[in-house]
Amino acid sequence: MKEHIEMTDDELIEQSFQELITDYLSTKHRKRVEIITKAFNFANQAHKGIKRQSGEPYIMHPLAVAKIVCTEIGLGSTSICSALLHDVVEDTDYTVEDIENLFGPKIAQIVDGLTKISGGVFGDKVSAQAENFKKLLLTMSNDIRVILIKIADRLHNMRTLGSLAANKQYKIAGETLYIYAPLANRLGLHRIKTELENLSFKYEHPEEYKQIKSKLQATAAEREEQFRAFTGPIKDQLDKMGLKYQILARVKSIYSIWKKMETKHVPFEEIYDILAVRIIFEPRKEDEELNDAFDIYVSISKIYRPHPDRLRDWVSHPKANGYQALHVTLMGKDGQWIEVQIRSERMNDVAEQGFAAHWKYKDGGGGEDEGELEKWLRTIKEILDDPQPDAMDFLDTIKLNLFASEIFVFTPRGEIKTMPQNCTVLDFAFSLHSDIGKHCIGAKVNHKLVPLSHKLQSGDQVEVLTSKSQRVKPEWLTFVSTAKARSKINALLKKEQRTLQRKGETLLNEFLLAEGIRPEVVNMDKLLQAHNVASKEEFLTLIGGGKIVLADVDRNVLKSKQGTNWKKILSFSFGKDGKENKNAAANEEEPVEKINPKKILKLTDDTLQKNYVMATCCCPIPGDDVLGYLDDNGKVIIHKRQCPVAVKLKSSYGNRIIATQWEVQKNLSFLVHIYIKGIDRVGLLSDITQVISWQLNVNIRKVNIETIDGIFEGKVQLYVHDVDDVKELISKLRKISNVKEVTRVEE
């Protein structure tokens, strides 16, 4: 240990490089140690003397990324070299041409792709964020290794996130959860996806992370015994079949457990699927892999009763990311359902390493292994063809594709089409062609007439019906679920809106000219106020569409001098440089505190009342894990860290995120919503209100409880000081006889 502490930087770097070479030599790739050594020496020289935020030499980061690429994703020398060189062009004076001259065009192309998307997916401005993400997706279609190395880069950044400031941690963790984890999942990198989720959760919700981790450790021995008892008879059966296999216990990830606790509103103790079992077998013959998987399923189903609705066959129909396995849920002797995943060694490699593992098993290039990936990339390219001015819309649109599970539907001619789960007839129409989607009026599904919003099921046969008179409608966005359909509808609506705006502008100018009124900003503000419309664009659209007709009322509004707010219209110049002070009028009324995003914001009783706004989407209270978001007006809005709105803000406006810390006394009250459910009995409501009002002295705002067939459920709105009050309240309510479920909800 002492020797390790006294190691010089050079010794530490050399040791790390030797570990990389050892890992590489143990793979099945052809041994190109010389070019890896050359890339390491070049990168080491280029980054010499530069330190990371943690204090270690910068080259340790490219070395760590190269190790992940080699051992955890399973890529070869080209990718390892690219990982070692991935920051050289970005951070030093070397160019892509230099890389090409020394290492050839393929490595240079990958390094160039990585340089274009450097600095995280997102920059400081919204438009740059969308552009960077587009670049990231476009580089995937040139060489999938670019995104695989980028994911490895993000994984190492997450593993070393502790050395950064808190607001940076929230930005990077939020971005990881919103984009990188789904990307890793889509590319079949399940192990990396799970680690990215867990690390993001660890930095966003440190207390919950520690609690779940400690509960998992406390129940480990119990799970080990359950695993031993459950798998004993299975091992005996597989031995009789003469198979070579291994049986592993798979424990649900900390993030997945928390997610289930949040969505199902249950405590840790009521999560029953923490343990799953994985059987990895070696096929008896190369072409018997599929038969062996089903033989194992049949034989273990004779030992334990299978759940009739929970057989998942991804052997015959692989997922879009190449994942293959049989999933069956069996009831153990203790009455608990346990999921068993059956995979061959090849299937397991693909599940762990994703598309990279395909290259290990295919002969020569191409082949149908990457067919689904190509299909996905093609869809993304189509989305990129449509300009998306709003980064948030763009990210949401892409995210629809990242998370989609697949179903299989048929055309009238019997052709099979892969579609995302929960897709509608309209989604299917747009997947065939934009013109078919635009003119779709309905469909015949299994020969029965259905509307545009009808959700398709696996195995449906779909005949799309169209009409030339059909036009795209805004309400279509409420039921489409695919990225392509949403993107096309938005583009068509915007095109139509621009046409209406041009028409509206012509009508407005004609009206003003006829009345002898100048088209000034002040006059436009008067019209917007009179018609209660938020923006000029919306106003022109309504005029162009005939929903607003300019008349005598508008003439009177424009010629009236009342209602003009001169403070807003006039601008003032101050100081020696004579620059315009746009905030003068606002500052005259109330000074706005200057916020430094790098410092931790203290939330005190005084500042909460004066300076900050509590987000209505998630209603945070003292004790919740929260963050601040600096809006366009300089106001700080406080969100819960797991709030869906906050997740998007972290991903798209990372530079405006502020780390916050509660420092409040029990003086202020905050509204919370408590959901409660149980078996009805006489006097139950009285017991509930007595606990809330008398025992805990909490002020109730509203109670809404109803009973159906002996089961009562409802919500109580009440005022508390902080999270501790909520925990005590929930604990006491759960102790009331016949109360089965109590949890805090958003609304």
pLDDT digits (tens, 9 = 90+) for 114-157: 876 664 444 444 445 555 566 666 666 567 788 888 889 999 99
High-pLDDT (> 70) share of the chain, %: 82
Output the CA torsion 89→91→94→99 (10° steps): -30
203-207, 557-561, 657-661: which range is least confident on average?
Answer: 557-561
Rounded Cα gap, residues 330 and 338, in angstroms: 5
* Pairing outcome for strands 699-708 and 711-720: antiparallel
Q: Determine the Cα angle at 338 with ends 333 and 344, to 5°.
A: 120
The residue assigned the tokens 């003439």 is 555
pLDDT of residue 379: 60
Closest CA to 477 of 487, 462, 464: 487
Active site residue: 90, 207, 239, 282, which one?
90
The residue assigned the tokens 């057989």 is 311
Given a cut of 70, whether residue 592 has pLDDT beyond it is no
Task: Describe the chain by its helix, strand, coil percentages, rounded to 5.
Answer: 55, 15, 30
Question: Is the distance from CB of 622 to CB of 670 less than 8 angstroms?
Answer: yes
High-pLDDT (> 90) share of the chain, %: 14
Return the higher-pLDDT residue of 396 and 279: 279
Top-tier CATH class for 213-358: alpha beta
Rounded Cα gap, residues 610 and 626, in angstroms: 18
Phi (first) and psi of residue 677, to 5 degrees: -150, 150
Alpha helices, DSSP H, located in 143-205: 144-159, 166-175, 181-186, 190-204
Residue 363 known to be catalytic:
no
Give me Rg for the CA atoms of the chain. Answer: 30
Phi (first) and psi of residue 705, to 5 degrees: -130, 135
Rounded Cα gap, residues 500 and 546, in angstroms: 9
Contacts of 21 (CB under 8 A, 6+ apart): 33, 36, 37
Residue 393 CA: distances (Å) to CA of 127, 250, 478, 603, 696? 12, 37, 14, 32, 45
The CATH architecture one would assign to domain 2-159 is Orthogonal Bundle (1.10)
Sheet holding 670-679, edge to edge: 699-708, 711-720, 670-679, 739-745
Rounded Cα gap, residues 562 and 557, in angstroms: 9
* Pairing outcome for strands 416-420 and 440-445: unpaired
Question: Is the distance from CB of 178 to CB of 649 less than 8 angstroms?
Answer: no
If one looks up domain 670-745 in CATH, what number appears? 3.30.70.260
What SS3 class is residue 703?
strand
- For residue 725, the one-letter residue type is D
pLDDT in tens, 454-509: 999 877 888 998 888 888 888 898 888 887 888 888 888 888 888 888 888 888 88
Phi (first) and psi of residue 393, to 5 degrees: -60, -45
* Pairing outcome for strands 636-640 and 612-614: parallel
Rounded Cα gap, residues 487 and 483, in angstroms: 6
Active site residue: 9, 14, 56, 91, which one?
91
Q: What integer is the mean pLDDT of 46-59?
A: 84
pLDDT of residue 184: 84
Task: Kindly report the number of other CB atoms within 10 A of residue 608's CB atom.
Answer: 19
Question: Is the distance from CB of 302 to CB of 268 less than 8 angstroms?
Answer: no
Return the higher-pLDDT residue of 172 and 279: 279
- Write out the E strands in 546-592: 572-573, 580-581
Rounded Cα gap, residues 472 and 497, in angstroms: 11
Which residue ranges make up each domain of the chain?
Answer: 2-159, 213-358, 670-745
pLDDT of residue 126: 44
pLDDT in tens, 519-550: 777 778 778 877 877 778 888 888 888 878 88
The conformation of residue 693, written as its DSSP 8-state character, comes to I
> Can you spell out the DSSP letters for 35-94?
HHHHHHHHHHHHTTT-B-TTSSBTTHHHHHHHHIIIIIS---HHHHHHHHHTTHHHHSS-
Question: Is the distance from CB of 518 to CB of 494 less than 8 angstroms?
Answer: no
Rounded Cα gap, residues 732 and 464, in angstroms: 57
Report residue 347 as tokens: 């299937």
Give 232's pLDDT tier (boundaries 50, 70, 90). Answer: very high
CB-based burial label for 101 (10 Å; 0-12, 13-18, 19+): exposed
Residue 345 known to be catalytic:
no
Q: How would you label 317-335 residue by residue, b for 16+ Cβ within 10 Å and e otherwise?
A: ebbbbbbbbbbbbbebeee
pLDDT in tens, 389-445: 455 555 666 665 555 667 778 888 877 777 877 889 999 999 888 889 988 988 888
* Mean pLDDT, rounded, of the chain: 79
Task: Kindly report the number of other CB atoms within 10 A of residue 185's CB atom.
Answer: 20
